[in-house]
């Protein structure tokens, strides 16, 4: 397949998958607390990524030469998600 056409197809597929994922997450949030939905969203994304890494057979794909930067990135991601959730009141649990 032509690399340009392959890029177009992959872009369209990724947009479709993102749309389905986002719509599903919004629908599920009607019944479950947002932290649970976010956890499972990232969990399943991790499973898909690990499947691709296992198929490639390259564990070096997940190795980092800058572990401190990866930890800082994780802390900032968690902090920003926490701040956004607190700001919009998403951390309220049903009683």
Q: Which pLDDT tens digit goes with each residue over 49-73? A: 888 888 887 777 777 888 899 999 9
For residue 67, what is the enclosing H or E element? helix 67-88
CA 11/CA 93 separation, integer angstroms = 37
The structure tokens listed for 15 are 């947009």
| 3-state SS, residue 65 | coil
Structure confidence at residue 91 (pLDDT): 60
90 — pLDDT class (breaks 50, 70, 90): low
Structure confidence at residue 92 (pLDDT): 63
Question: Taking the model in full, what pTM does it have?
Answer: 0.55
Checking if the pLDDT of 16 tops 80, the result is yes
Structure confidence at residue 11 (pLDDT): 96
């Amino acid at each position: 397949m032509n690399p340009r056409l392959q890029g177009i197809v992959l872009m369209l597929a990724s947009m479709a998958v993102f749309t389905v994922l986002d719509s599903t997450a919004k629908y599920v949030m009607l019944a479950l607390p947002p932290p649970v939905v976010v956890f499972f969203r990232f969990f399943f994304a991790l499973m898909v990524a690990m499947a691709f890494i296992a198929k490639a057979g390259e564990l070096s794909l997940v190795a980092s030469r800058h572990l401190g930067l990866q930890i800082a990135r994780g802390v900032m991601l968690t902090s920003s998600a926490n701040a956004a959730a607190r700001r919009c009141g998403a951390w309220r649990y049903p009683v």
